[in-house]
Amino acid sequence: MFSSPATDLSIHYSLLPPSSKILRPEYICASKKCKVSFIIRKGCKEDVPQMFRLVQELALFERAPEAVVNTERIMEQDGFGDNAIYKVFVAEDAATNQIVGMALYYTAYSTWKGKLLFLDDLIVTEKYRQFGIGRKLMNEFLKEAQRLGVNQVRWQVLDWNTPAIRFYESLKAELDREWITCKMSKQEIADYIKTINH
């Protein structure tokens, strides 16, 4: 999570469909005398190269660049192929058409809660983090959750990422510290399967 909520902005923005370039919603930062215009819209296949660059930037921020084994090709297939398994909102700089943020999520299921959405990544590139883009992406994700009628949304945050934790607390989200994340890599799965096939 890269964004922190902005407090000195006069904000005007619109949620647009993919490829819509008609409106130029503006974020105006009066105290810094700068103007940033950006569009929040649903992502499309053409966005994948820039989305993947955001993923790589996040991996560096989280001190684990070597952990990224995904590729642009796989990401395109998984999000926009015949059997797409995730959806995404993107933030696009209206002046440059650069993708500067994204909220990537997918449908999951809980035996206790039923249908839910899992927010896998909420990313805003570093130079755009002061404009409230992360909050706007989060807002659209939560609106989508409400539209779909899910009973819960979930995401994770690193315990040392204090700005992100504060941001999530400002949303009145519950930060559950009782649960431990369990995971196995592709190689670890293969190694374990070998032990049970003997």
Encode the chain in three state secondary structure.
Answer: CCCCCCCCEEECCCEECCCCCCCCCEEEECCCCEEEEEEEEECCHHHHHHHHHHHHHHHHHCCCHHHCCCCHHHHHHHHHCCCCCCEEEEEEECCCCCEEEEEEEEEEEECCCEEEEEEEEEEECHHHHHHCHHHHHHHHHHHHHHHHCCCEEECCCCCCCHHHHHHHHHCCCCCCCCCCCCCCCHHHHHHHHHHHCC
- In this model, does residue 9 exceed pLDDT 90? no
pLDDT digits (tens, 9 = 90+) for 65-119: 999 999 999 999 999 999 999 999 999 999 999 999 999 999 999 999 999 999 9
pTM, two decimals, is 0.82
- In this model, does residue 21 exceed pLDDT 60? no
pLDDT digits (tens, 9 = 90+) for 141-151: 999 999 999 99
Domains and CATH numbers, the chain: 9-196 (3.40.630.30)
Confidence of residue 34 (pLDDT cuts 50, 70, 90): low
The catalytic site residues sit at 168
